[in-house]
Every structure is written in structure tokens, then in C-alpha cells.
Amino acid sequence: MEVLGIDVGGTGIKVNIVDIESGQPIGEKFKIKTPTPATPEAIIECLLTAVENFNWKEKKIGIGFPAVIKNGISLTASNIDPAFINYNIDEEFSKALDCDVKVVNDADAAGIAEMTYGKGKGVNGLVLFLTLGTGIGSALFHNGTLLPNTELGHLKYKKSVFEKYASNSAREFHHLSWKKWAKELDVYLNHLNLLLSPDLILIGGGVSKNFDLYKQYLNVNVKVEMAALQNDAGIIGAAMAAV
Ligand code: BGC
């Protein structure tokens, strides 16, 4: 079965057709910038362009979206327009795209893909999957079962929240060296370890491919690994969530 998977991030939107049985993206990945402001109308415009690009006539579309999503409603908006707070996202997107659209949190989507096809495959106990990109997303699994919408990037830190210090955009914005940025990441991982005692932490998102540049600065008493699926995880997981 083929499903169109869409990963909406704070900076970019990535789209591809995913073969659900193999978990493989099978088309040519389509990328478009996340509009600013990222209002529902502007995002829908981008989604329509993506659907047109793939000439998508099938009914199913899965979308990973950077917000808490409960019962088809988006409830938060940290890196997108506040118009998404309490927005009937499944219904509005389905209407606009004339498809059966299912939206889930973007980190949850990427985590589901990583647990099925990547480093989390077959791992029992507590697995914490983090995406370090524009924001910080989290997906927590116990014996393979997801606890959705954990939002662990929003734990309080200094004058704000951890996502303002340990995300990839924080590293870029403050022009931090890998070493300096990794110090913040290390504080974050130690804090999460103290709260949750995970068995494994998987790092995904924009900086996962650079893991070798900062792993030596991490000093946390838990196994920390780079995610395997990297940038395609969000697309694959979004498609999986739709079925
Ligand atoms: C949002 C999360 C999202 C994460 C990664 C955060 O700012 O609150 O819902 O998963 O960014 O995109």
C-alpha cells in the first residue's frame, strides 16, 4: 500500500510517497520552505502544491506536524502560527486536500518510523527519541508502545525552555561551536535521564548526521545513539500513522 507522507517542520516541509509494507520512500522527495507566518491558509497552500507535484489521486495522506495533536485537533503552536491552537486540523486539511488526512505530532511520527525500521527496532524498555531541529521534539516508547505528545523540548531551562538552547536552530542562531552547543545538550540529556531513566536515547533531526562531531562531549549515564533513518523518518512515520 502506498501513502503520501508529509513532514511539516518549523523550517521546511518534506514530502514523499511511502510504501507502507517496506517502510521505504519510493518517489523523489519534494521539499518546500515552511511559509512565514505559518498560518493554516499558507500551510494548506504548500500542501496543495505538494499533492499536485505527486499528482496524488489516492485517498490517504499522513502528516507529521510540530504541535500537540489530540483527537484531530492541534493544541499548541511554538514554531508555527498561533492560529493552529485549537484548530480542527484533520478535518480542515482533509477538506482542503479532498483526501483522508491524518495528522500526528512530527516527533511521534519520526519516532514510530525509527522504532519500526531503525535503531529502535525490537528494543524493549524505555526508548526516548529526540528530534533536534528548529525545535526539540520528543517521542517516548515503552516496550515499543508510544506515549504521544510528550513535548519534552519544553521543559523549563534557564530563562526559557530547553529547545531554545539545545536545538539545532539554537546552535545556528547563537553561532555555537559543536563543543559549546553539546554542553547544553549534555545538560538536557542528563536532566531527561534523571526524570525518566530511559534505556536508550536516539538522536534524530537536523543534527543527527553530525553525531560524530559532538558525541565526545556528551557525558550521560545512558546509551545515546544517532537515529538510523535521519531525515526521512518524519515522512515515513507520517505515512504509517495514516493507516
Ligand atoms: C513543538 C513540538 C515538535 C517539535 C519539533 C516543538 O517546538 O512544540 O510539537 O515536535 O518542536 O518540531
CATH of the domain at 30: 3.30.420.40
Residue whose CA is closest, atom 10 of ligand 1?
137
- One domain, residues 137 and 206: yes
CA dihedral 240, 225, 208, 43 (to 10 degrees): 30
Mutation to probe ligand 1, out of 70, 78, 165, 207 (largest number of atoms < 8 A from CB): 78
Write out the residue range of the structural domain in which residue 12 sits.
2-108+233-241
Quickly list DSSP for 110-154. Answer: HHHHHHHHSTTTT--SEEEEEEESSSEEEEEEETTEEE----GGG
- One domain, residues 96 and 187: no
Average pLDDT taken over every residue of the chain:
96
- Give the residue from 223, 186, 221 showing the smallest Cα distance to 201: 223
Gyration radius of the chain over CA positions: 17
- One domain, residues 15 and 90: yes
**What's the half-sphere exposure (Cβ side, CA atoms, 13 Å) at 217?**
17
- One domain, residues 10 and 59: yes
Q: According to the model, what pLDDT value does residue 59 have?
A: 83
Number of domains in the chain: 2
Angle between helices 89-97 and 40-53 (to 10 degrees): 40
Residue whose CA is closest, atom 11 of ligand 1?
135
Choose between 208 and 68: higher pLDDT.
Answer: 68
What is the atom index within ligand 1 of the atom nearest the CA of 79?
A: 7
Residue whose CA is closest, atom 12 of ligand 1?
66
In a domain, 188, yes or no: yes
Q: Per-residue pLDDT tens for 147-181?
A: 999 999 999 999 999 999 999 999 999 999 999 99
Name residue, grid cell 527519541.
129
Q: What are phi and psi of 140, to 5 degrees?
A: -110, 130
Q: According to the model, what pLDDT value does residue 231 have?
A: 80
CA 129 / ligand 1 centre spacing (Å) = 13
Across the range 11-37, mean pLDDT stands at 95
Would you say residue 16 has pLDDT above 90?
A: yes
Across the range 61-75, mean pLDDT stands at 98
- One domain, residues 80 and 94: yes
**DSSP-assigned letter for residue 80:** S
**What's the half-sphere exposure (Cβ side, CA atoms, 13 Å) at 5?**
33
Q: According to the model, what pLDDT value does residue 192 have?
A: 98
- One domain, residues 129 and 192: yes
Angle between helices 233-242 and 106-117 (to 10 degrees): 90
What is the atom index within ligand 1 of the atom nearest the CA of 67?
A: 9
The answer to whether the beta carbons of residues 1 and 21 sit under 8 Å apart is yes
- One domain, residues 101 and 143: no
In a domain, 116, yes or no: no
Which residues are near ligand 1 (CB < 6 Å)? 9-10, 66-67, 76, 78-79, 105-107, 131, 133, 135-137, 151, 153, 163
Would you say residue 68 has pLDDT above 90?
A: yes
Q: At a CB cut-off of 8 Å and minimum separation 6, what does 188 contact?
A: 136, 155, 157, 162, 165, 166
Q: Per-residue pLDDT tens for 40-57?
A: 999 999 999 999 999 998
- One domain, residues 98 and 34: yes
